[in-house]
Amino acid sequence: MGLVTQPPRRADDAARDADVMRRIRAGDRGAVDELYERFRRPAYALARRILADDALAEDVLQEVFLSVWRDPASFDRGRGSLSSWLLTVVHHKAVDAVRREESQRRRQTQAEDELVLDAPTATRDVEDDAWTRLVGEQVRTAMGALSQPQREALTLAYYGGYTQREVAALTGTPLGTVKTRMLSGMRRLKQELGGVTGSGSLDSVPSTEESQR
């Protein structure tokens, strides 16, 4: 959780922590509100850094503090401070949210692919297939004109179907750098391909917005 700074600890924080958790165990809803006000800033900052999405970060915060209300006994004072425990819970739930988001994206992509495969194929002929193969080959040739980092990022997105966030994780590259490489690579591809159009052209390359999903 390195980049997130925990709230500065005061001498009476341990007593406050014990008191607020005791009140939550007793069913005092106001104690949860108090806990939220104390820790929402660092908790949100951590969730936002992991998810890179404001709405998802807010959802994670709601889930975390709701889980505290439902199961306050999950906090064990003997294993660390309340703030450390809360941020650990935030981290775990944010990572789970990322996995759910990517799993949902993959399921959606798979469903869309199945719809395409199941669509009527009576209108497809040899010329259509030949054109698709030709344009696909031109795209692969144009990829050879890119720099190695650009080609790597676009290959993972175009052929692997990975999002920008996933490409950043796979290559150990900052997300902003991946975005820049993909954008500049797309511009170079358009120059190389010129007027080529069709189902196998750049229309098939994930755009910046699409690759974020």
* pLDDT-derived band at 165, boundaries 50, 70, 90: confident
For the chain, which residues make up each domain, given as ranges?
13-100, 125-212
What's the burial of 20, exposed, middle or buried (CB within 10 Å: 0-12/13-18/19+)? buried
Domain 13-100 has CATH 3.30.2270.10: no
CATH number listed for the domain at residues 125-212: 1.10.10.10
Q: What is the pLDDT of residues 78-133, one digit of tens each?
A: 778 888 899 999 999 998 888 887 777 776 666 655 555 554 444 444 445 554 55
Q: What is the pLDDT of residues 5-41, one digit of tens each?
A: 445 555 567 888 889 999 999 999 999 999 999 999 9
The span from the CA of 56 to the CA of 72, in Å, is 23
Q: Do domains 13-100 and 125-212 have the same CATH topology?
A: no
What the block records as the tokens of 82 is 């309340």
Is the pLDDT at 168 greater than 80, yes or no? yes
Q: Global pTM?
A: 0.46
How many secondary structure helices (H) and strands (E) does the chain include? Answer: 8, 0
